[in-house]
Amino acid sequence: MSGGALIGVLVLSIALVVLIIVKFKMNPAIALILGSLFLGFVAGIPMMAISVTIHGLLMKRGLWNAAADENGNGINVDEQELPEKLPGFFVSLLPILAPVLLILLIGWFLGVAFRQITGSGTVASLTTFAIMQSVAATVAIHPVFIALACLDGALFGATVNDSGFWIVSNMAGLNFSGGVKTYTLGQAIASVVGIILIVVVGCISCLF
């Protein structure tokens, strides 16, 4: 990962930590752990190395005891029991997060497909809304995240069947190749980054 991309991921991780603390009132120590996990995962660090590093910090610095309950009492966890409990904790989240992840990705892919077929972001959004509204009540996530996934998929850039593509290309004096590199590629990047953020924030929201 390049230096600029790594800085961008770092800024995003900081924003995620601030959002978790301010919006969801989570303990700052836990928020920092989640932000570190996100940063390491996006940066391409192996998950085993991330877990070992965080485990070492928790034990050596006593950060685990900083995770207090509602009464302000520290949560004491035996160092020998922690490696055994963490896998079970993450496994217990799979039944909740797996359907959410699946529904969000389905909504996004449908938005992408209809945008490429029709060329209209409005038609793609409304069509995907109509399909996904029936499943919104079946998963443990606020419907606004499903709507965002549908809209984000419909953002994915189309080409020859999109009137906006030709308007932007002609007004900017670009040929077909130039329009693809600017209009289509730009929207595609925005859509992919958007669905990553929607999935991360949506999954976190399911835990509270």
Q: Give 81-84's long-range contacts (Cβ < 8 A, gap of 24+).
A: 82/55, 82/58, 83/55
Listed residue (97, 89, 86) closest to 201, CA to CA: 97
pLDDT score at 133:
84
Rounded to the nearest 10 degrees, the angle between the axes of helix 28-42 and helix 3-24 is: 150
| Angstrom distances, CA of residue 69 to CA of 13, 65, 92, 135 | 25, 10, 20, 35
pLDDT-based confidence at residue 130 (cuts at 50, 70, 90): confident
pLDDT, tens only, 22-72? 677 766 666 667 777 777 777 777 766 666 666 555 554 444 444 444 444
Q: How far is CA 128 from the centre of its chain?
A: 20
The pLDDT value given to residue 193: 92
Which is nearest to 12 in space by CA: 175, 189, 173, 200?
200
Contact, 203 vs 138, CB < 8 A?
no
Which residues, in sequence order, are CB contacts of 69 under 8 Å at separation 6+?
75
Kindly write down the DSSP assignment for every residue of 149-186, as one continuous string: HHHHHHHS---TT-HHHHHHHHHTT--HHHHIIIIIHH
Question: Is pLDDT of 18 > 70?
Answer: no
More confident residue, 143 or 18: 143
Whether the predicted pLDDT of 161 surpasses 90:
no
For residue 203 the two structure tokens come to 């999954």
